[in-house]
Amino acid sequence: MQQNNRQSYLDWLRMLAIIGVLFFHSAQPFASENDWHIMNNKTSDLFAEFTFWLSRFRMPLLFFISGAVTYFILKKKTATQFVGLRFQRLIIPLIFGMLVIVPPQIYLERLNQDFKGNFFDFYPSIFSGEAYPKGNTSWHHLWFIVYLFVYDLVAVPLFSWLTTAKAAGFIKNLEWLAKGKRIYLLTLPSIIVFSSLILSYPQTNDLVHDLTYLPYFFMFFVPGFICICNPKLMDSIERLRRTSLLIALLSIILMNYRRWNDIDMQNVISNWGTNPLTYLYLSIYPIIAWAWVLALVGYGKKYLNKTHKALSYINQVVYPFYILHQTVIVILAYYVVKTTDTIESKYFFIVTVTFIICIAVFHLLIRPYKILRFLFGMKEQKEVAAKKIITPVNSTSKKESLIESTV
Protein backbone atom coordinates (compact mmCIF):
# COMPACT_ATOMS: atom_id res chain seq x y z
CA MET A 1 0.00 0.00 0.00
CA GLN A 2 3.00 2.32 0.27
CA GLN A 3 3.53 5.17 -2.15
CA ASN A 4 6.61 4.48 -4.22
CA ASN A 5 6.49 7.54 -6.47
CA ARG A 6 6.73 11.18 -5.64
CA GLN A 7 3.39 12.91 -6.14
CA SER A 8 3.59 16.02 -8.31
CA TYR A 9 0.82 17.84 -6.47
CA LEU A 10 3.11 18.15 -3.45
CA ASP A 11 5.59 20.10 -5.57
CA TRP A 12 2.88 22.40 -6.94
CA LEU A 13 1.47 22.98 -3.46
CA ARG A 14 4.90 23.79 -2.07
CA MET A 15 5.40 26.31 -4.86
CA LEU A 16 2.02 27.91 -4.08
CA ALA A 17 2.89 27.98 -0.37
CA ILE A 18 6.17 29.81 -1.08
CA ILE A 19 4.33 32.31 -3.29
CA GLY A 20 1.92 32.77 -0.39
CA VAL A 21 4.88 33.57 1.86
CA LEU A 22 5.97 36.22 -0.67
CA PHE A 23 2.52 37.82 -0.62
CA PHE A 24 2.39 37.57 3.19
CA HIS A 25 5.73 39.20 3.97
CA SER A 26 5.25 41.87 1.30
CA ALA A 27 2.05 42.90 3.05
CA GLN A 28 3.59 43.15 6.51
CA PRO A 29 4.77 46.79 6.22
CA PHE A 30 1.20 47.86 5.45
CA ALA A 31 -0.84 45.78 7.93
CA SER A 32 -2.46 47.79 10.70
CA GLU A 33 -1.73 46.95 14.34
CA ASN A 34 1.53 45.39 13.21
CA ASP A 35 5.11 45.85 14.35
CA TRP A 36 7.27 44.46 11.58
CA HIS A 37 10.90 45.22 10.72
CA ILE A 38 9.94 48.08 8.38
CA MET A 39 6.55 49.79 8.62
CA ASN A 40 4.77 52.22 6.33
CA ASN A 41 3.56 55.47 7.93
CA LYS A 42 0.02 54.61 6.83
CA THR A 43 -1.39 51.12 7.28
CA SER A 44 -4.44 49.21 6.11
CA ASP A 45 -6.98 47.11 7.98
CA LEU A 46 -7.55 45.09 4.80
CA PHE A 47 -3.89 44.12 4.64
CA ALA A 48 -4.13 43.15 8.31
CA GLU A 49 -7.02 40.84 7.48
CA PHE A 50 -5.12 39.37 4.55
CA THR A 51 -2.03 38.62 6.65
CA PHE A 52 -4.17 37.25 9.49
CA TRP A 53 -5.86 34.81 7.12
CA LEU A 54 -2.60 33.64 5.52
CA SER A 55 -0.88 33.35 8.89
CA ARG A 56 -3.40 30.75 10.04
CA PHE A 57 -2.26 28.04 7.60
CA ARG A 58 0.78 29.02 5.49
CA MET A 59 3.38 27.43 7.79
CA PRO A 60 1.22 24.41 8.79
CA LEU A 61 0.85 23.68 5.06
CA LEU A 62 4.61 23.86 4.51
CA PHE A 63 5.28 21.55 7.46
CA PHE A 64 2.64 19.07 6.28
CA ILE A 65 4.19 19.00 2.79
CA SER A 66 7.69 18.71 4.27
CA GLY A 67 6.59 15.70 6.29
CA ALA A 68 5.14 14.06 3.18
CA VAL A 69 8.25 14.77 1.11
CA THR A 70 10.46 13.29 3.86
CA TYR A 71 8.90 9.91 3.11
CA PHE A 72 10.31 9.86 -0.41
CA ILE A 73 13.79 10.83 0.78
CA LEU A 74 13.86 8.11 3.45
CA LYS A 75 12.76 5.50 0.92
CA LYS A 76 16.18 6.01 -0.70
CA LYS A 77 18.35 6.79 2.35
CA THR A 78 19.31 5.16 5.62
CA ALA A 79 18.62 7.12 8.79
CA THR A 80 22.28 8.15 9.04
CA GLN A 81 22.42 9.22 5.40
CA PHE A 82 19.19 11.14 5.86
CA VAL A 83 20.51 13.11 8.86
CA GLY A 84 23.72 13.92 7.00
CA LEU A 85 21.77 15.06 3.97
CA ARG A 86 19.47 17.24 6.06
CA PHE A 87 22.44 18.82 7.83
CA GLN A 88 23.94 19.72 4.47
CA ARG A 89 20.71 21.11 3.03
CA LEU A 90 19.33 22.80 6.12
CA ILE A 91 22.07 23.76 8.59
CA ILE A 92 24.63 24.93 6.01
CA PRO A 93 22.10 27.33 4.40
CA LEU A 94 21.00 28.41 7.89
CA ILE A 95 24.53 29.37 8.91
CA PHE A 96 25.11 31.11 5.58
CA GLY A 97 21.78 32.89 5.93
CA MET A 98 22.51 34.12 9.45
CA LEU A 99 25.90 35.46 8.33
CA VAL A 100 24.95 36.93 4.94
CA ILE A 101 21.21 36.98 4.18
CA VAL A 102 19.63 38.09 7.47
CA PRO A 103 22.02 40.89 8.66
CA PRO A 104 20.85 43.45 6.06
CA GLN A 105 17.32 43.10 7.43
CA ILE A 106 18.46 43.86 10.97
CA TYR A 107 20.71 46.70 9.84
CA LEU A 108 17.91 48.53 8.03
CA GLU A 109 15.64 48.09 11.02
CA ARG A 110 18.33 49.56 13.27
CA LEU A 111 18.70 52.53 10.91
CA ASN A 112 15.00 53.21 11.50
CA GLN A 113 15.80 53.07 15.20
CA ASP A 114 18.44 55.82 14.82
CA PHE A 115 21.53 53.64 14.48
CA LYS A 116 24.38 55.77 13.12
CA GLY A 117 26.93 54.09 10.91
CA ASN A 118 27.25 52.04 7.77
CA PHE A 119 26.66 48.31 7.34
CA PHE A 120 30.28 47.47 8.13
CA ASP A 121 30.04 49.37 11.39
CA PHE A 122 26.94 47.35 12.24
CA TYR A 123 28.04 43.88 11.05
CA PRO A 124 30.34 42.86 13.97
CA SER A 125 27.38 43.20 16.34
CA ILE A 126 25.76 40.03 14.92
CA PHE A 127 28.52 38.05 16.68
CA SER A 128 27.70 39.48 20.10
CA GLY A 129 25.51 36.47 20.83
CA GLU A 130 22.67 38.61 22.12
CA ALA A 131 19.47 37.41 20.49
CA TYR A 132 17.18 39.64 18.48
CA PRO A 133 15.25 41.85 19.17
CA LYS A 134 17.50 43.13 21.96
CA GLY A 135 20.61 42.07 20.08
CA ASN A 136 21.46 41.54 16.45
CA THR A 137 21.95 37.77 16.34
CA SER A 138 18.98 36.22 14.57
CA TRP A 139 17.77 33.73 12.01
CA HIS A 140 14.63 35.81 11.29
CA HIS A 141 12.49 34.06 8.63
CA LEU A 142 14.93 31.13 8.52
CA TRP A 143 13.40 29.79 11.74
CA PHE A 144 11.46 27.39 9.52
CA ILE A 145 14.72 25.69 8.55
CA VAL A 146 15.76 25.27 12.19
CA TYR A 147 12.44 23.75 13.18
CA LEU A 148 12.44 21.43 10.19
CA PHE A 149 15.89 20.11 11.07
CA VAL A 150 14.86 19.50 14.70
CA TYR A 151 11.74 17.68 13.53
CA ASP A 152 13.83 15.53 11.20
CA LEU A 153 16.12 14.52 14.06
CA VAL A 154 13.26 13.75 16.44
CA ALA A 155 11.15 11.84 13.94
CA VAL A 156 13.80 9.94 11.98
CA PRO A 157 13.62 6.74 14.13
CA LEU A 158 9.84 6.51 13.62
CA PHE A 159 9.96 7.57 9.98
CA SER A 160 12.76 5.14 9.14
CA TRP A 161 10.77 2.29 10.67
CA LEU A 162 7.65 3.28 8.73
CA THR A 163 9.53 2.89 5.44
CA THR A 164 10.53 -0.72 6.20
CA ALA A 165 8.67 -3.97 5.64
CA LYS A 166 8.34 -4.37 9.41
CA ALA A 167 5.83 -1.53 9.47
CA ALA A 168 3.59 -3.00 6.75
CA GLY A 169 0.97 -4.17 9.25
CA PHE A 170 0.85 -0.82 11.01
CA ILE A 171 0.53 1.06 7.72
CA LYS A 172 -2.23 -1.31 6.64
CA ASN A 173 -4.09 -0.57 9.88
CA LEU A 174 -3.91 3.14 9.10
CA GLU A 175 -6.68 2.51 6.58
CA TRP A 176 -9.05 2.75 9.54
CA LEU A 177 -8.43 6.51 9.49
CA ALA A 178 -9.42 6.69 5.83
CA LYS A 179 -12.98 5.59 6.46
CA GLY A 180 -15.77 8.11 6.76
CA LYS A 181 -14.49 11.33 8.26
CA ARG A 182 -11.99 9.75 10.63
CA ILE A 183 -9.09 11.55 8.93
CA TYR A 184 -10.07 14.58 11.01
CA LEU A 185 -8.92 12.71 14.12
CA LEU A 186 -5.39 13.66 13.05
CA THR A 187 -6.21 17.22 14.04
CA LEU A 188 -6.90 16.49 17.70
CA PRO A 189 -3.30 16.51 19.06
CA SER A 190 -2.56 19.94 17.62
CA ILE A 191 -5.89 21.32 18.84
CA ILE A 192 -5.18 20.12 22.39
CA VAL A 193 -1.58 21.40 22.39
CA PHE A 194 -2.41 24.82 20.97
CA SER A 195 -5.47 25.59 23.08
CA SER A 196 -3.83 24.44 26.32
CA LEU A 197 -0.48 26.22 25.90
CA ILE A 198 -0.90 29.36 23.79
CA LEU A 199 -2.05 31.62 26.65
CA SER A 200 1.11 30.86 28.60
CA TYR A 201 3.57 30.55 25.73
CA PRO A 202 3.00 32.90 22.76
CA GLN A 203 4.91 32.37 19.52
CA THR A 204 8.59 33.37 19.56
CA ASN A 205 10.19 31.41 16.67
CA ASP A 206 13.36 31.14 18.79
CA LEU A 207 13.04 27.34 19.29
CA VAL A 208 14.02 27.33 22.97
CA HIS A 209 11.11 29.35 24.35
CA ASP A 210 8.57 28.52 21.64
CA LEU A 211 6.80 25.97 23.81
CA THR A 212 3.49 26.16 21.97
CA TYR A 213 4.44 26.38 18.32
CA LEU A 214 7.39 23.98 18.45
CA PRO A 215 5.15 20.96 19.23
CA TYR A 216 2.22 22.49 17.32
CA PHE A 217 3.98 22.58 13.94
CA PHE A 218 5.41 19.11 14.62
CA MET A 219 1.84 17.84 14.67
CA PHE A 220 1.45 18.89 11.04
CA PHE A 221 4.84 17.50 10.03
CA VAL A 222 4.22 13.97 11.33
CA PRO A 223 0.69 13.59 9.85
CA GLY A 224 2.14 14.68 6.49
CA PHE A 225 4.48 11.69 6.61
CA ILE A 226 1.83 9.29 7.91
CA CYS A 227 -0.73 10.27 5.27
CA ILE A 228 1.68 9.69 2.40
CA CYS A 229 2.58 6.21 3.74
CA ASN A 230 -0.84 4.85 2.89
CA PRO A 231 -2.48 6.08 -0.35
CA LYS A 232 -5.95 5.62 1.12
CA LEU A 233 -5.32 8.38 3.65
CA MET A 234 -4.49 10.85 0.89
CA ASP A 235 -7.50 9.56 -1.05
CA SER A 236 -9.63 10.34 2.00
CA ILE A 237 -8.26 13.89 2.13
CA GLU A 238 -9.12 14.28 -1.54
CA ARG A 239 -12.61 12.83 -1.05
CA LEU A 240 -13.35 15.18 1.86
CA ARG A 241 -11.87 18.29 0.23
CA ARG A 242 -15.26 20.04 -0.01
CA THR A 243 -16.03 19.33 3.64
CA SER A 244 -12.62 20.67 4.62
CA LEU A 245 -13.16 23.82 2.58
CA LEU A 246 -16.58 24.35 4.18
CA ILE A 247 -15.05 23.99 7.67
CA ALA A 248 -12.26 26.37 6.67
CA LEU A 249 -14.70 29.04 5.52
CA LEU A 250 -17.08 28.68 8.47
CA SER A 251 -14.28 28.70 11.05
CA ILE A 252 -12.60 31.82 9.65
CA ILE A 253 -16.00 33.56 9.52
CA LEU A 254 -16.62 32.62 13.15
CA MET A 255 -13.20 33.90 14.15
CA ASN A 256 -13.63 37.16 12.23
CA TYR A 257 -17.10 37.72 13.66
CA ARG A 258 -15.49 38.01 17.06
CA ARG A 259 -12.67 40.23 15.78
CA TRP A 260 -14.74 42.51 13.54
CA ASN A 261 -17.35 43.15 16.21
CA ASP A 262 -14.70 44.03 18.80
CA ILE A 263 -15.85 41.26 21.09
CA ASP A 264 -13.21 40.97 23.79
CA MET A 265 -13.16 37.37 24.96
CA GLN A 266 -11.79 38.44 28.33
CA ASN A 267 -15.03 40.32 28.96
CA VAL A 268 -17.30 37.65 27.49
CA ILE A 269 -15.75 34.73 29.35
CA SER A 270 -15.23 35.01 33.08
CA ASN A 271 -12.15 33.52 34.72
CA TRP A 272 -10.08 33.89 31.54
CA GLY A 273 -7.76 30.91 31.23
CA THR A 274 -9.83 28.56 33.40
CA ASN A 275 -13.28 28.53 31.84
CA PRO A 276 -13.69 25.59 29.39
CA LEU A 277 -15.21 27.97 26.84
CA THR A 278 -11.85 29.73 26.69
CA TYR A 279 -10.19 26.62 25.31
CA LEU A 280 -13.08 25.96 22.97
CA TYR A 281 -12.54 29.41 21.53
CA LEU A 282 -8.76 28.93 21.26
CA SER A 283 -9.29 25.63 19.45
CA ILE A 284 -10.70 27.56 16.50
CA TYR A 285 -7.17 28.62 15.53
CA PRO A 286 -5.82 25.10 14.84
CA ILE A 287 -9.17 24.10 13.33
CA ILE A 288 -8.76 26.91 10.79
CA ALA A 289 -5.21 25.78 10.07
CA TRP A 290 -6.09 22.13 9.58
CA ALA A 291 -9.19 22.85 7.51
CA TRP A 292 -7.25 24.99 5.03
CA VAL A 293 -4.36 22.50 4.91
CA LEU A 294 -6.64 19.54 4.23
CA ALA A 295 -8.70 21.50 1.71
CA LEU A 296 -5.63 22.65 -0.21
CA VAL A 297 -4.03 19.19 -0.16
CA GLY A 298 -7.32 17.61 -1.23
CA TYR A 299 -7.88 19.98 -4.12
CA GLY A 300 -4.21 19.81 -5.02
CA LYS A 301 -4.30 16.03 -5.24
CA LYS A 302 -7.44 16.22 -7.36
CA TYR A 303 -6.33 18.84 -9.86
CA LEU A 304 -2.54 19.34 -9.62
CA ASN A 305 -1.19 15.79 -9.70
CA LYS A 306 0.43 16.18 -13.10
CA THR A 307 3.96 16.83 -14.27
CA HIS A 308 5.17 19.71 -16.38
CA LYS A 309 8.52 20.48 -17.93
CA ALA A 310 8.77 23.57 -15.67
CA LEU A 311 8.51 21.47 -12.49
CA SER A 312 12.20 20.60 -12.41
CA TYR A 313 13.17 24.27 -12.48
CA ILE A 314 10.49 25.17 -9.93
CA ASN A 315 11.73 22.50 -7.52
CA GLN A 316 15.21 23.95 -7.69
CA VAL A 317 14.19 27.58 -7.22
CA VAL A 318 11.71 27.36 -4.31
CA TYR A 319 14.27 26.86 -1.52
CA PRO A 320 16.74 29.60 -2.57
CA PHE A 321 13.72 31.82 -3.23
CA TYR A 322 12.50 31.27 0.33
CA ILE A 323 15.93 32.05 1.77
CA LEU A 324 16.26 35.27 -0.26
CA HIS A 325 12.77 36.72 -0.35
CA GLN A 326 12.40 38.44 3.02
CA THR A 327 15.73 40.22 2.79
CA VAL A 328 14.79 41.58 -0.63
CA ILE A 329 11.39 42.65 0.73
CA VAL A 330 12.93 44.48 3.69
CA ILE A 331 15.46 46.29 1.50
CA LEU A 332 12.78 47.39 -0.93
CA ALA A 333 10.35 48.33 1.83
CA TYR A 334 12.97 50.49 3.56
CA TYR A 335 12.95 52.81 0.54
CA VAL A 336 9.41 52.27 -0.75
CA VAL A 337 7.68 53.31 2.49
CA LYS A 338 9.32 56.73 2.17
CA THR A 339 7.46 57.47 -1.05
CA THR A 340 4.06 59.15 -1.27
CA ASP A 341 2.45 56.46 -3.44
CA THR A 342 -0.63 54.57 -2.36
CA ILE A 343 -0.37 51.49 -0.17
CA GLU A 344 -1.66 49.32 -3.01
CA SER A 345 0.95 50.55 -5.49
CA LYS A 346 3.73 50.11 -2.93
CA TYR A 347 2.59 46.57 -2.21
CA PHE A 348 2.33 45.66 -5.89
CA PHE A 349 5.81 47.09 -6.49
CA ILE A 350 7.38 45.12 -3.64
CA VAL A 351 5.75 41.83 -4.66
CA THR A 352 6.69 42.21 -8.32
CA VAL A 353 10.25 43.43 -7.87
CA THR A 354 10.99 40.91 -5.11
CA PHE A 355 9.85 38.08 -7.36
CA ILE A 356 11.98 39.33 -10.27
CA ILE A 357 15.08 39.91 -8.14
CA CYS A 358 14.90 36.52 -6.40
CA ILE A 359 14.44 34.66 -9.69
CA ALA A 360 17.25 36.65 -11.32
CA VAL A 361 19.64 36.04 -8.41
CA PHE A 362 18.84 32.33 -8.47
CA HIS A 363 19.17 31.99 -12.24
CA LEU A 364 22.27 34.14 -12.73
CA LEU A 365 24.23 33.76 -9.50
CA ILE A 366 23.14 30.66 -7.54
CA ARG A 367 22.16 28.03 -10.09
CA PRO A 368 25.35 28.11 -12.23
CA TYR A 369 27.93 28.02 -9.42
CA LYS A 370 28.77 25.00 -7.31
CA ILE A 371 29.70 26.90 -4.15
CA LEU A 372 26.50 28.93 -4.10
CA ARG A 373 24.40 25.86 -4.85
CA PHE A 374 26.00 24.26 -1.79
CA LEU A 375 25.44 27.31 0.43
CA PHE A 376 21.78 27.48 -0.60
CA GLY A 377 21.18 23.77 0.05
CA MET A 378 20.88 22.70 -3.57
CA LYS A 379 22.08 19.51 -5.22
CA GLU A 380 25.03 19.53 -7.56
CA GLN A 381 24.09 20.07 -11.19
CA LYS A 382 25.18 16.57 -12.21
CA GLU A 383 22.76 15.07 -9.66
CA VAL A 384 19.90 17.15 -11.03
CA ALA A 385 20.77 16.16 -14.59
CA ALA A 386 20.75 12.48 -13.61
CA LYS A 387 17.31 12.86 -12.01
CA LYS A 388 15.92 14.22 -15.26
CA ILE A 389 16.43 10.91 -17.01
CA ILE A 390 13.01 9.28 -16.69
CA THR A 391 12.07 6.13 -18.55
CA PRO A 392 8.81 6.78 -20.44
CA VAL A 393 7.09 3.52 -19.57
CA ASN A 394 3.41 3.02 -18.81
CA SER A 395 3.71 3.39 -15.07
CA THR A 396 3.08 5.97 -12.39
CA SER A 397 6.62 7.23 -12.84
CA LYS A 398 5.24 10.02 -15.00
CA LYS A 399 3.77 11.46 -11.81
CA GLU A 400 7.12 11.45 -10.10
CA SER A 401 8.93 14.70 -9.47
CA LEU A 402 12.08 15.25 -11.47
CA ILE A 403 14.10 16.04 -8.38
CA GLU A 404 13.73 15.59 -4.65
CA SER A 405 12.64 18.53 -2.61
CA THR A 406 15.04 20.30 -0.33
CA VAL A 407 12.42 21.15 2.25
pLDDT over 80 at 376, yes or no:
yes
pLDDT over 90 at 359, yes or no:
yes
Confidence band, pLDDT 50/70/90 cuts, at residue 322: very high
d(CA 376, CA 89): 7
Q: What per-residue confidence (pLDDT) applies to 272? A: 55
pLDDT over 60 at 178, yes or no:
yes
Closest to 147 (Cα-Cα) out of 103, 207, 231, 187: 207
Q: % helix / strand / coil in the chain, to the nearest 5?
A: 70, 0, 25
Q: Which residues, including other chains, have CB under 8 Å from residue 35's CB and lie 6 or more apart? A: none
Q: What per-residue confidence (pLDDT) applies to 4? A: 47
| Domain segments of the chain as ranges | 8-102+139-399
CA distances from 366 to 2, 6, 283, 350, 353 (A): 36, 26, 42, 22, 18
pLDDT per residue over 202-216, tens digit each?
999 999 999 999 999
Q: What per-residue confidence (pLDDT) applies to 400? A: 40
Q: What per-residue confidence (pLDDT) applies to 281? A: 85
The whole-chain average pLDDT of the chain stands at: 90
What is the share, in percent, of the chain residues with pLDDT greater than 90?
Answer: 83
Query: Is the model more confident about 313 or about 393?
Result: 313
DSSP 54-73: HHHHHHHHHHHHHHHHHHHH
pLDDT over 60 at 264, yes or no:
no
Closest to 38 (Cα-Cα) out of 307, 326, 309, 246: 326
pLDDT per residue over 119-177, tens digit each?
999 999 999 989 999 999 999 999 999 999 999 999 999 999 999 999 999 999 999 99
pLDDT (mean) for 381-396? 50
